[in-house]
Structure 1
Amino acid sequence: MSYVTSPARLIVACCALPLLVACESTPPEMDSSLIPASQRKDYQLTMSKAKACPINLAELSDIRSSKDLLVGNSNVTEDTLYTLLQQSLEDMNVSPDIEAANSVKVILNRAFIKSLGSNMVATVVLKVRYKPDYADEYSPATTFRGQSMNVNANISEEQSNQIAIDAMKTAIDDATKRIKSSLLHNCSDALGEIEAV
């Protein structure tokens, strides 16, 4: 038996898809230049607090079934993604070299790039287990999603690969900012120093 999709069903399906995506994902971190001037100072203070909070990186792992990202006819390799994630965490003061009471285990769960018209959308999903200084065990995993969008039109394959790397870096940075912002309440010492300045 063959099924014919009516125009009405097609319209309903197309309208429902963005809602499903919206329910599953979190909105991307706003660039500070897009934040209204009245709120920009608070945003920058929050990011300063997040960066000031030292956290020990107890473990960093990649559990994706497919480690490389195919972009056109070339790959963004596992090593590239791992390096981008490690650097992003270090920029946010999360490192195995930091001796801090609070520690995290970060897992790269998913990373993918999709072309939507002339745009390239990069998404990364990290799972994080956290252990504050007063706990004996790590918390259950919490999911953090980062996303970015770059224009990808009328360019060479080499440029497309670099745009994909840049887009993935922005998505990873977005996710690590979310991680650090969510842990601010456990960094009272570091926050007190920032607020005193």
Structure 2
Amino acid sequence: MSYATSPARLIVACCALPLLIACESTPPELDSSLIPASQRKDYQLTMSKAKACPINLAELIDIRSSKDLLVRSSNGLEDTLYSLLQQSLEAMNVSPDIEAANSVKVVLNRAFIKSLGSNMVATVVLKVKYKPDYADEYSPATTFKGQSVNVNASVSEKESNQIAIDAMKTAIDDATKRIKSSLLHNCKNALSELEAV
């Protein structure tokens, strides 16, 4: 009897193993483009609230050891990247010009582009320290990653650089949205004040 159940247990274990591996390898964060249509409205509402929440930008620095984005020419991309990050934060209502009780310090830690076949994958890594209105000190740094994939056809160097800039802009926007979404629970007072106006 025990001999008969042993192979059965082995078959069940073998069938369950791929499911366990699949669960462990699933990315923890869901790409917004993969959100089902039924949940998209809630996602858009969350992003609207995140964008409405004002946050003071106490510091924005670039500590990348290498400014080379691994494109054929990096000329002009270094300054562009910093300004793209600044614009993206401002679009999400994070600025040094905003007088808000909540504030952040943002560090541009890494930014790079890799060519994978016909695709250009842009990645940006930001480190963020946050200080809510009730705290005296900033939190330890939290890492936020943004990523985008663009098709990189056979184009001129100038066009390739523009594709790279567009890819980095999308990756930066992705990262800043993640930052604001993660801080939304600390913005209740600011949002209630905005709704009352």
TM-score range, shorter chain: 0.7 to 0.9
Are the counterparts in 1 of residues 73 and 161 from structure 2 also a CA contact under 8 Å?
A: no
SS in 1 for 2:48: helix
Q: State the Cα deviation string for residues 25-76 of structure 1 (Å, max 9, x = none).
A: 8657423xx5322111101100000001000000000000112424113435
- Give the Cα separation in 2 of the matches to 1:44 and 1:106: 24
Can you give the 5+ residue segments of structure 2 that lack an aligned partner in the other structure?
1-21
Following superposition of structure 1 onto structure 2, how do residues 1-197 of structure 1 map, counting pairs within 5 Å?
A: 27=29, 29-31=31-33, 34-192=34-192
Partner residue, 2:18 = none
Q: 1 or 2, which has the higher helix percentage? A: 2
TM-score by length of 1: 0.81
| Structure of greater Rg | 2
- Give the Cα separation in 1 of the matches to 2:128 and 2:32: 21
Report the aligned-residue RMSD.
2.2
Are the counterparts in 2 of residues 28 and 148 from structure 1 also a CA contact under 8 Å?
A: no
Taking a change above 3 Å as real, the CA distance of residues 149 and 27 of structure 1, as seen in their structure-2 partners, is farther
- Give the Cα separation in 2 of the matches to 1:29 and 1:91: 20
Are the counterparts in 2 of residues 62 and 108 from structure 1 also a CA contact under 8 Å?
A: yes
Taking a change above 3 Å as real, the CA distance of residues 36 and 195 of structure 1, as seen in their structure-2 partners, is farther
TM-score by length of 2: 0.81
Are the counterparts in 1 of residues 55 and 102 from structure 2 also a CA contact under 8 Å?
A: yes
Taking a change above 3 Å as real, the CA distance of residues 28 and 114 of structure 1, as seen in their structure-2 partners, is farther
2:120 is matched by which residue type in structure 1?
M
Moved more, 42-51 or 70-79: 70-79
Are the counterparts in 2 of residues 69 and 75 from structure 1 also a CA contact under 8 Å?
A: no
